[in-house]
Amino acid sequence: MFQKTIKKEVIFRGEGIYFKDKILVKCYPAKADSGIIINNQKLSIDKITNENHTTVFNNQENKIFLIEHFLAVLFLLGIDNLIVEIFGKEFPFFDGSGKDYYLKLKDLVVDLVPHKKEKIEIKKSLLIFDNNSFILLLPNKEFSCLVITNFPHYLFWQICKLNNNFLDIISSQTPIPTKILKEEDREFLRSLGYFPYQNWFLGNGKFVYHKMFDLLGNLKILNKDLKTKIIAFRPSHQLNLKLVKKLVDLSKGGKNGY
């Protein structure tokens, strides 16, 4: 499988949910083996933290919040090399999903022949856990992913398998904890189809779909072709990043399988 980039510049404009600023994001084609470059910094796990229920990219100048939705779309489209300039403290919220990113990028993806993707091949089981949650990786010739959760309805289990339903996954809206919201934020979210539930504002699409979306966005930090079957039970940003850090540690020394 060849590495991919985009064939021309694309621009996103929107507003943030955390800082309420107007944001401009410019994406440019990049050469093979460049990786994902954000404001002149290469995406890597050592620049990533988990804050306020979102994934944060820490460059040399500031923090950039809500990066996981953008990265999840790159994962699903297979984009390995991209130069990104972002003017703002967070990626645009749009409607809380990855739909806007997907619609602008999907027809711009091009192969970088003959450069092959770097891969991580899981050859034996790997279990990462955190409290009552876990992510299990099993040997598999291709990438597959299954997410299981019982939030927000604790008596009912939701299951999502990554196959032909990726459009539903991309379009699912992120849950927002009410404690970070002001009253004007709540009105804005209601206009997007959100509704209050317990201590959260929930949007359209199954909650488990967005948990899958977040997991894929966090896995994109690796920026490699994963050969494994993933079973994620009640995953979180914290648990996802714990898995990514473990895979990075295991891959040190130039190995591409373990």
d(CA 79, CA 84): 12
In a domain, 228, yes or no: no
Q: What is the pLDDT of residue 84?
A: 98
For 192, the 3-state DSSP assignment is coil
Report if residue 105 sits inside a domain: yes
Residue 226 maps to a domain: no
Domain membership of residue 29 (yes or no) is yes
- Across 110-124, b (16+ Cβ under 10 Å) vs e yields eebeebeeeebbbee
Domain that holds residue 83: 2-118
Answer whether residue 46 is part of any domain: yes
Report the distance separating Cα 241 and Cα 183, nearest Å. Answer: 31
In this structure, is residue 70 part of a structural domain?
A: yes
CB 4 within 8 A of CB 109: yes
Pairing of strands 82-87, 36-38: parallel
Q: Is residue 17 part of a domain?
A: yes
Q: Please check whether residue 242 lies inside any domain of the structure.
A: no
Number of domains in the chain: 1
Four-point Cα dihedral 110, 112, 113, 118, nearest 10: -120
Helix (H) or strand (E) holding 31: none
Q: What CATH number does the domain containing 88 carry? A: 3.30.230.20
Tell me, what's the pLDDT at 252? 78
Residues of the chain falling short of pLDDT 70: 155, 164, 253-258
* Bridging pattern class, strands 225-233 and 119-121: parallel
**DSSP line for 112-143:** EEEEEPPEEE--S-EEEEETTEEEEEEE-SS-
In the prediction, which pLDDT does 182 show? Answer: 86
Residue type, 202: L
